Amino acid sequence: MKISKAVITAAGRDQRNLPLQALVDHDGASKPVLRISLEEVLNAGIGEICVVVCPEDRDAFSRAAAGLEATLHFIEQADPRGYGHALLCAREFVGGDPFLHLVSDHLFIGRGPKSCARQVVEAAEAAACAVSAVQATRESKLPYYGAVGGRRVAGSRNLYEIENVLEKPTPTQAEQHLVVPGLRAGHYLCFFGIHVLTPAIMEMLAGELAAASGRPVSLSPSLAELARRERYLALELAGRRYNIGMRYGLFAAQLALALEGGEREEVLAQVVELLAQREIASEPDGGSAP
């Protein structure tokens, strides 16, 4: 299985401006989050990228991706029918091919020589099946993520056969349906925001949309159906995801990027200086000498 296409969904009405926010990347250059995501995809060896956007945002996203026009296709989600519908808008682009999928409101930082997207692509090509990246996440964060349950693949330390998928489960639901042997207590495998999916997912999303009677369509029910129909793996990545839609998410993502870059020591020095200044200010008399 060869992955040559990617779909980035960026049409969420409440988060559509997040990919346009500028951060200083690890190379020291200021870039929109969208640009960082596009480079993540290109570094995974993907040559064709589709970005699903709101109609009124197309020009802004085009400017943010300037210079990469030869690899990009923009598709507009004219009717806001949810995340699953946004992905379904790329059905014609995907055709009969497996594809890489990234959400646009997350930033991904790999640990080691391979980017997060490349790790997922290589795992999917090797296993010849759908693979979703996951991260062991404490249960207090379950309201922010979809999560999976299953069992570790024999002989592997970071691959899991997915048996269940739930969207933003409660701790009780997770304890009943998503416990994975070997994980720390109170931790669950939550989606990372990067998937390689087979074209069958589009058929399932189309069925969900037809049955939704105008309601928004999410992705997780179709992923659960995919796990019932096909082999579907979860890959615990060497890396971290940063949800920039959460409170302080942009700040956490920027700090993580800075600590991965060539100016790491300078950034650390500034953080230490800031903390020291706050400590001095909190002392009686502002820490002044008697």
Domain definitions of the chain by residue range: 5-247
Average of per-residue pLDDT values in the chain = 91
Q: What is the mean pLDDT of residues 12-20?
A: 83
| H/E segment holding residue 134 | strand 130-138
255 versus 260: the higher-pLDDT residue is 255
More confident residue, 58 or 283: 58
Six token digits for residue 238: 């060497």
Cα torsion angle, 165, 79, 12, 38, sign: positive
Contact 123, 233 (CB under 8 A): yes
Phi, psi dihedral angles at 85 (to 5 degrees): -65, -40
Name 80's Cβ contacts closer than 8 Å, sequence gap at least 6.
11, 13, 54, 216
Alpha-carbon gap, residue 183 to 136, rounded angstroms: 8
Q: What is the token pair recorded at 254? A: 């920027």
pLDDT value of position 285: 61
Strand pairing partners for 22?
A: 32
pLDDT digits (tens, 9 = 90+) for 192-251: 999 999 999 999 999 999 999 889 999 999 999 999 999 999 999 989 999 998 889 999
Task: Provide the residue count of the chain.
Answer: 290
Q: What are the helix (H) ranges across 81-187? A: 83-88, 91-94, 116-127, 171-177
pLDDT given at position 228: 95
- Cα 234–Cα 172–Cα 136 angle in degrees, nearest 5: 30
The CATH architecture to which 5-247 belongs is Alpha-Beta Complex (3.90)
43, 117 contact by CB (below 8 A): yes
Q: Are 80 and 102 in contact (CB under 8 A)?
A: no
Backbone angles phi, psi at 202, to 5 degrees: -70, -40
Question: Which residue has tokens 């940063």?
Answer: 242
d(CA 50, CA 72): 6
| pLDDT in the model for residue 290 | 45
For residue 252, give the H/E element and its range.
helix 249-260
CA gap 257, 252 in Å, rounded: 9
Residue 274 pLDDT: 80
pLDDT digit string, tens, across residues 119-176? 999 999 999 999 999 999 999 999 989 999 999 999 999 999 999 999 999 999 999 9
Amino acid, res. 92: E
Whether residue 255 is predicted with pLDDT greater than 50 in this model: the reply is yes
Cα 18 to Cα 243: distance, rounded to the nearest angstrom: 10
